[in-house]
Structure 1
Amino acid sequence: MNELWLAGRGLACALGPDVGHAVAALRQGGVAPARFEVPGGFGWPYFALPAEDGDWLERTCRTVRRVARESGALDTPRRGPLFVASSSIDLGEREASGDFERDFHAFAETLAETLDWQGPVFTVSTACTSAHNAVLSAGAWLRAGDAAEALVLGIELANRLTVAGFGSMQLLAPDAAQPLGASRRGLVLGEAVAALRLTSARGTARWRVAGGANVVDGRDPAGAVPSAVEAMCREALQRSGLTAAQIGLVKLQAAGSPANDASEIDGLRRVFGSGLPPLVSLKAAIGHTLGASGAAELALLTACLETGAWPSSVHAHDPTLGARLAAQAPPDARYVLANILGFGGGHAALVLEDRGGAPA
């Protein structure tokens, strides 16, 4: 079986239009969320992309081209599979145009056209686990030798239905997200467009996708299930050929939800025991970007580990959880477990190995 390497990445999020700007913004303490207003006088904090000219689809295509170019995907033959991962797909454009009749897959085909993509095109929409599942699907193609390269696009852009829907469920924080925080009151949503260029040939790639898992347990359709978190982690470790003791960092889902943060830590303790590895959450820096979060957070996290930039965590941690976010990047995290948990019982994890640059 072939290996799976992260050969390139691109990211546009509230921190900036590319990975470099995002890292620089983190070094300066991050950015404050804007505010998203919906009819009826309701509004919540929201991590929006920097404003650009053009209608919804023009802006989206322009941003997708930019992040794909940053990942290096536009310098390839573009004949491998393209995976478009999103929760809301093109709902923002449909709200603006009033056209809700077009085919669900049409958005992915539009993006393939704007990239002049020649390979097969797939839509992956499994709520918040969409981008992680897209990486797992791309890995199946590349490891089996059915393609040499693949591109995963994680896309989540503003729309009223998503924000109002989360707000109506009372899941949104009124001010700021506090992952694992003592006063956490909910999550803050955000926009992101991310590109992960995956290849079966290492080349100059530093990061290897060692394995992963997707476990669906719908006993709590809107929340995490500790036993499913445990099963997800154990399967991801088994598929990676690793033990829990070899994990040097866990990127949490933790978004500031009173219940879900606790459930995730409970599940992790079943795997790691009382001595949890260092923990990090990126959602207080870029928001919960839903279906794009797997790709967006992998792009940002790998850049953070390479540069030493790190999301600040100034809020007080919840002492009942017995877990804290790491204040800085761990210096020796060869293996990283990256979790994404989502609506519908989705629990997905990827394991990355830091191989420290190009082979000799």
Structure 2
Amino acid sequence: MSEVPGVFLAGIGLACALGDDMPSALAALGRGGVSPMPVEVADGVRWPVYKLAAQDGDWMQRLRAGVRKVVAQTGDWGPRTAPLFVASSSLDIGFMERAPQDQRLGGGLQDFADAVAGAIDWQGPVFTVSTACTSALNALLAAADMVRAGEPQALVIGIEPDNRFTVAGFGAMQLLAPESARPFGAGRKGLVLGEAVAALRLGSKPARWQLMGGSNVVDGRNPSGTEAGAVRAMCHEALSRSGLRPGDIDLVKVQAAGSPVNDAIEVEALRQVFAPLPPLVSLKSAIGHTLGAAGAAELALLVGCVEGGVWPQVGYPIDESLGISLCTQPPRALKHVLLNVVGFGGGHASLVLKDCEA
């Protein structure tokens, strides 16, 4: 029996509120980060959003230019015939807001992915993954399966473009913080949304970062919140598929969006998996909650932080009742990282990332 090939990160691209590429993002993070910008969703109604840098052109032109720049950061592809996974929650709702006619009942789910593929002249098969906030992580799991099945490479693009519809919806559900995101913070009031484009190039050729096992657990009992049982299940399943035990994890990238209730549920569930808790890191106070792009954008930024020697700082007090802290520097021994993402509809996804140079 032939050995199942490993799956490795062959290239990373990122544009977020911190910057249009990894060096500029890390530089901004090292200076203390950036502030969210107000987005007006109705007369007199504004919510903070971690926005991408302003670009010329209409919505579709900005989308295509942004995708091209980020994918270029992943290296020279040559013939672009590998599988492409486009992960997003809001898809093309921003374009629909600006279209001359309301097209929300027309077109198909694949239209947005086709527009992304067209921007980079992609010739291979194109897939849409839209499972709310777990979209990009689920796309990574699917792309990794393809590489294990024999595809030499695959590309995952997590993308959350600008739009007012999503901001208005989260605001109407009273889920947004009025000023800034404070994951696990004292007096936290909700999440702050963010825009991002992230590209992850997966391949079977050994590299520093290996994608190990992952998990997607759906528990719809609380369709807009975190379920402790699902958090425990996704962690255990990701560990099992990676051949690891809880004590092997050196760092957990938490969901921690700033919800008063969900943050507390996540901490309690993690305590039931890990004893003691490994170091925890949150990235949403730096780039916001990038929804469908979060799994790719936060993985890319975390890898950039480790490699670049820059680490997100916590500029607010942590809720003492949680009994935890967020690490302000990478752990000295960092080999296995668990990345967790939780989303609407009961989606709970997890992935183990291994540093092969540790």
TM-score range normalised by the length of the shorter chain: over 0.9
For the aligned residue pairs, the C-alpha RMSD in angstroms reads 1.0
Greater Cα offset, 220-229 or 312-321: 312-321
In 2: Cα distance, 1:142 partner to 1:285 partner:
31
Q: Is the 8 A contact 2:38 2:47 kept in 1?
A: yes
Structure 1 counterpart of 2:152: 148
In 2: Cα distance, 1:20 partner to 1:106 partner:
32
In 1: Cα distance, 2:156 partner to 2:47 partner:
30
Structure 2 counterpart of 1:356: 357
TM-score relative to the length of structure 2 = 0.97
Structure 2 counterpart of 1:4: 7
In 2: Cα distance, 1:144 partner to 1:355 partner:
22
Q: CA deviation at 1:76?
A: 3.5
Q: CA deviation at 1:124?
A: 0.1
Q: Does 1:283 align with 2:284?
A: yes
Amino acid corresponding to residue 338 of structure 1 in structure 2: L
Structure 1 counterpart of 2:272: 270
Unaligned 5+ runs, structure 1 = none
Alpha-carbon displacement from aligned partner over 1:299-349 (angstroms, at most 9, x marks no partner):
100010112211110211111111111011112110000000000000001
Q: CA deviation at 1:87?
A: 0.2
Amino acid corresponding to residue 226 of structure 1 in structure 2: A
State how 1:189-268 maps to structure 2 within 5 Å: 189-202=193-206, 205-268=207-270
Q: Does 1:136 align with 2:160?
A: no
Structure 2 counterpart of 1:188: 192
Q: Which runs of 4+ in 1 moved over 2 A?
A: 74-77
Structure 2 counterpart of 1:61: 64
In 2: Cα distance, 1:9 partner to 1:70 partner:
6
Q: Does 1:168 align with 2:169?
A: no
SS in 2 for 1:320: helix
Unaligned 5+ runs, structure 2 = none
Q: CA deviation at 1:45?
A: 1.0
Q: CA deviation at 1:255?
A: 1.1
Structure 1 counterpart of 2:181: 177
SS in 2 for 1:71: coil
Structure 2 counterpart of 1:122: 127
Aligned length: 352
In 2: Cα distance, 1:77 partner to 1:40 partner:
48
Q: Is the 8 A contact 2:181 2:188 kept in 1?
A: yes
Q: CA deviation at 1:113?
A: 1.7
Q: CA deviation at 1:25?
A: 0.6
SS in 2 for 1:45: strand
Q: Is the 8 A contact 2:279 2:327 kept in 1?
A: yes
Structure 1 counterpart of 2:50: 47
Amino acid corresponding to residue 195 of structure 2 in structure 1: E
SS in 1 for 2:320: coil
Alpha-carbon displacement from aligned partner over 1:171-211 (angstroms, at most 9, x marks no partner):
00011111111110000001000000000121xx2100011
In 2: Cα distance, 1:86 partner to 1:267 partner:
27
Structure 1 counterpart of 2:342: 341
Structure 2 counterpart of 1:14: 17
SS in 2 for 1:337: strand
Alpha-carbon displacement from aligned partner over 1:89-133 (angstroms, at most 9, x marks no partner):
111011110332122211111221221111100000000000000
SS in 1 for 2:322: coil
In 1: Cα distance, 2:24 partner to 2:147 partner:
31
Structure 2 counterpart of 1:104: 109
SS in 1 for 2:73: helix
Q: CA deviation at 1:71?
A: 1.0
Amino acid corresponding to residue 301 of structure 2 in structure 1: L
The equivalent position to 1:86 in structure 2, one of 75, 85, 88, is 88
Greater Cα offset, 107-116 or 294-303: 107-116
In 1: Cα distance, 2:80 partner to 2:266 partner:
38
TM-score relative to the length of structure 1 = 0.96
Q: Does 1:303 align with 2:296?
A: no
Greater Cα offset, 227-236 or 157-166: 157-166
In 2: Cα distance, 1:77 partner to 1:352 partner:
28
Q: Is the 8 A contact 2:41 2:165 kept in 1?
A: no
Amino acid corresponding to residue 30 of structure 1 in structure 2: G
Amino acid corresponding to residue 3 of structure 1 in structure 2: G
